[in-house]
Structure 1
Amino acid sequence: MAAVVGMTGAVIDPVAFPASLARDGRSPTAASNRPLPLPTVPTARTETAVYGMAAVDCRGRVADRTVFAALGWVAGTPLAISVTHGTLIISTDPCGVFGMTSQGHLRLPAPVRHCCGLASGDRVLLAAHPERNVLLVHPPTVLDLLLADRHARLLGGDLT
């Protein structure tokens, strides 16, 4: 490499960087051609569940047209409601005493709301399973329990 004469007339020595090997013993060029790491992609869904979020109004009604349409529930559809582990399980039942309102809302009776700790304004996760003709309504307290471990792992600590 030839020396370069600067504007002041002084000779400037060339700078040359020595070739070095990457940590794995390959040349820097080979190391830079290595593909970037890719994130883990979740597997494809196997369930046909349809999800929605809805707020409980002051009369205990929830509405989500997409979820109810996936189930085929319309005004007057007779329904049965049960509560298991804080989650409402709602299914069609010819002898059911509950039903969809004429406006297409699902009305959750006061005793059911009290049993689950639901108050006016609470948002619930609706999980429709059309192949089973059932709707699961998850109150916020249940969602907290279901997601606590996952959130703690993602955020690096105990969230309780």
Structure 2
Amino acid sequence: MYGLAAVDCRGRVADHAIIAVLGWRPGARLDIRESRGLLVIRPDARGVFSVTKQGHLRLPAAVRHCCGLVAGDRVLLAADPARDVLIVHPPAVLDDLLAACHAELLGGDLG
């Protein structure tokens, strides 16, 4: 399942449908890691992050900075319920993915 959400000034991302499909409840402990410019979020009983009372994800400042995320950025959320994982795609990663796809579609001409 996919969703789009904006990062707010506190690093929160809200998409209740994504959180619901994953079965994550407020207070659920999470592990959030950066990998190849993406954020990989998984439940972890020892995780230091959690789903907020309002059902939002708060992305820590360190990983936001690592991915170049700022308030107002829209991110692609890709939930994989079978693997119990959420992958957050920042705009820079989407730009790279789409540029390659569009270049192929347009025969290498992006101008």
TM-score normalised according to structure 1 size: 0.67
What secondary structure is seen at the aligned counterpart in 2 of 1:126? strand
C-alpha distance in 1 between matches for 2:45 and 2:34: 19
Q: Which has the higher helix share?
A: 2
Matched, 1:58 2:12: no
Aligned equivalents of 2:28, 2:109: Cα separation in 1: 44
Deviations 1:98-143 (A, max 9, x none): 0000011000011110000000000000000001100000000001
Letter of the structure 1 residue corresponding to residue 82 of structure 2: E
Q: Once the 2 structures are TM-superposed, how far is the Cα of residue 156 of structure 1 from its aligned partner? A: 4.1
- Can you give the 5+ residue segments of structure 1 that lack an aligned partner in the other structure? 1-49
Task: State how 1:90-129 maps to structure 2 within 5 Å.
Answer: 90-129=41-80
Structure 1 outlier segments of 4+, above 4 Å: none
Count of aligned pairs between the two proteins? 111
Q: Report the Cα distance in structure 2 between the residues aligned to 1:83 and 1:158, rounded to whole angstroms.
A: 32
Q: State the percentage of identical aligned residues.
A: 66
d(CA) in 1 for partners of 2:70, 2:83? 28
CA distance in 2, matches of 1:62, 1:135: 12
Task: Please report how far the alpha carbon of residue 158 of structure 1 lies from its aligned counterpart in structure 2 after TM superposition.
Answer: 3.7
Partner secondary structure for residue 77 of structure 2: strand
CA distance in 2, matches of 1:146, 1:158: 16
| 1:136-147 → structure 2 map (5 Å cutoff) | 136-147=87-98
Give 1:31's aligned residue. Answer: none
CA distance in 2, matches of 1:122, 1:96: 25
| CA distance in 2 between partners of 1:146 and 1:109 (Å) | 24
Which residue number in structure 2 is paired with residue 78 of structure 1? 29
Higher RCO, 1 vs 2 (CA within 8 Å, ≥6 residues apart): 2
Letter in 1 for 2:11: G
Could you say which structure has the larger radius of gyration? 1
Structure 2's unaligned 5+ residue stretches are none
CA apart distance, 1:155: 3.5
TM value normalised by structure 2? 0.95
Distance (whole Å) between structure 1 residues aligned to residue 33 and residue 110 of structure 2 = 30
